[in-house]
Amino acid sequence: MKKTLLLLVGIVLFFGISFAQEDEDAFKIREIYDVALTEGQCYDWLEYLTQKVGPRLSGSTGAAAAVEFGKQTFDKMGFDSVWLQPCMVPHWERGKPSSARIVNSGVIGTQELKVIALGGSGNSGALGVSAEVIEVKTIDEAKALGPRARGKIIFFNRPMDPKQISTFAAYGGAVDQRVHGPREVGVLGAVGAIVRSMTTRIDDVPHSGVTVFREETPIPAVAISTNDANMLSELLKKESVKINLQTNCEWLEDKLSYNVIGEIKGSEFPDEIILVGGHLDSWDVNQGAHDDGAGVVQSLEVINVFNKMGIKPKRTLRCVWFMNEENGQAGAKKYAEWSNAIPEKHIAAIESDRGGFTPRGFTTEADEKVYKTKFKTAKDWEALLGPYGLTISPGGSGADVTRLKPQMGLLFGLKPDSQRYFDYHHARNDVFENVNRRELELGAAAMSALVYLIDKHGL
């Protein structure tokens, strides 16, 4: 009887405490959202980064200014330490805008097509290259051209699949053309490459992005607007088309740049690191507002929210603004190399690099040996995050944090609504005005809530 009573008391205490725990977490998360939505600074930081600093491609003066802005801003945030981590970044310059003109069509005349050089493109020389255009839908189709590709301009024209609900899935299904297409046809002797812009929109805005060459000399490679891609494709059904493609890009010597890092030492478990971050560099043709201005200011907002609430983290909290995600990931490589070598223990790393849109949750990945257990722990937090529209699901984390996998932590990617991201991605319209304040702040709040739970309960 006495035992039964003790057991009962035990059960009541256990559930009582566990309910109280959940209540306290729920209460704190509500407070996190209140602070982010009423005392957030991320929108103002984004305004500065996009409007004052502006474009910040690796190696550019804009990138250097961005690092300086980062350092100065971090210095005001009450970190225990702030430092710049050096890394050598590739230095490619677009030069004057590229052009592509149809030079042999009676239908179109010498109409100028809406194109933008791909990051990494070669230089055509002042007169450009003039050649017949061959349209393909896949890299395999391009490879199958064999010697027929020689002296030609290859036009990669497989659209992102609009039927995919996640636009990232559609991007993943098409972007190989942009990343690897130009090199593959360059190897075959093609003199240029034109790639359909990576967007589901049908409009006049071309979208840049990285294209990768190895030891070969890069050929001129441009993205073409979807409207002009459709027009060119129609024209090719009727007649042979010759295009003059002119690019002014230059590969310069690698340059010294930096990751910006701030750290608050954990009061109880200083060896357990929780990282929040995004990438500081952007393409040169826009303000990098969604990609990835949003991510860097959201990750710093986590610190601001903790400061405002007076939360002293039990675990070490590190905010990292990575350099050179767009065309080389030199910053991410340097950080992981250094941290994995020590070795440090990142129990979690959260990246925001999918735009400042309404957050829908987090994707997660880890070394397969630990994934199941750690995912389960995080998944259980859905009960607390669900009221804010957030889910925890499997998926990629982010290009800047995925190399920390050997440390056996759980890696997260903030997952915002994806519908509008590729309207702006790597294009001239990725500007401050296209970021909504509330959406941005809600993303920062979601990250703060997750960090709060990881810091409190471990992972």
Quick one: which segment of 96-104, 263-271, 329-337, 438-446 binds its own copies (CB under 8 A)? 438-446
Q: Which is nearer to its own copies, 255 or 437 (CB)?
A: 437
Closest CA to 37 of 456, 436, 450: 436
Among residues 130, 307, 377, 419, the one that binds its own copies under rule CB under 8 A: 419
Among residues 93, 132, 141, 417, the one that binds its own copies under rule CB under 8 A: 417
101 binds its own copies (CB under 8 A): no
Among residues 333, 420, 428, 456, the one that binds its own copies under rule CB under 8 A: 420
Q: Which is nearer to its own copies, 220 or 416 (CB)?
A: 416
358 binds its own copies (CB under 8 A): yes
Q: Beginning with the edge strand found earlier in the chain, give each strand of the sheet holding 242-246 in spatial order.
A: 112-113, 99-102, 242-246, 129-136, 153-156, 192-196, 221-224, 115-117
Q: Which tokens in the block code for residue 400?
A: 């800047």
Give just the sign of the alpha carbon dihedral 427, 431, 437, 440: positive
352 binds its own copies (CB under 8 A): no
Do 87 and 331 contact (CB within 8 A), yes or no? yes
Distance, C-alpha 434 to centroid of its chain? 17
Cβ of residue 385: shortest distance to its own copies, in angstroms? 12
Q: Which is nearer to its own copies, 16 or 386 (CB)?
A: 386
**x-or-dash string of contact with its own copies, 368-387, rule CB under 8 A:** -------------------x
Q: Reduce the DSSP state of residue 157 to 3 states and report it.
A: coil
Among residues 340, 402, 429, 436, the one that binds its own copies under rule CB under 8 A: 436
Q: Which tokens in the block code for residue 166?
A: 């996640």
Q: Which is nearer to its own copies, 137 or 345 (CB)?
A: 137
Give just the sign of the alpha carbon dihedral 372, 374, 380, 386: negative
Among residues 101, 178, 346, 360, the one that binds its own copies under rule CB under 8 A: 360
- The count of other CB atoms within 10 Å of the CB of residue 172 is 14
Closest CA to 95 of 63, 126, 130, 64: 126
Q: Please tell me the total number of residues recorded for the chain in this structure.
A: 459
Q: Applying CB under 8 A, what is the total number of residues that bind its own copies?
A: 24
**x-or-dash string of contact with its own copies, 27-56, rule CB under 8 A:** ------xx--xx------------------
Q: Which is nearer to its own copies, 340 or 419 (CB)?
A: 419
Of 166-225, binders to its own copies (CB under 8 A) are: 167, 200-201
438 binds its own copies (CB under 8 A): yes
Provide DSSP, 11-28. Answer: HHHHHHHHHHHHHHHHHH
394 binds its own copies (CB under 8 A): no
Which residues fall within 8 angstroms of residue 391, CB to CB, at 6 or more apart?
360, 361, 362, 382, 385
439 binds its own copies (CB under 8 A): yes
Q: Which is nearer to its own copies, 263 or 423 (CB)?
A: 423
Instruction: For residue 117, give the H/E element and its range.
Output: strand 115-117
User: Applying CB under 8 A, which residues contact its own copies?
Assistant: 33-34, 37-38, 162-163, 165, 167, 200-201, 358, 360, 387-389, 417, 419-420, 423, 436-439, 442
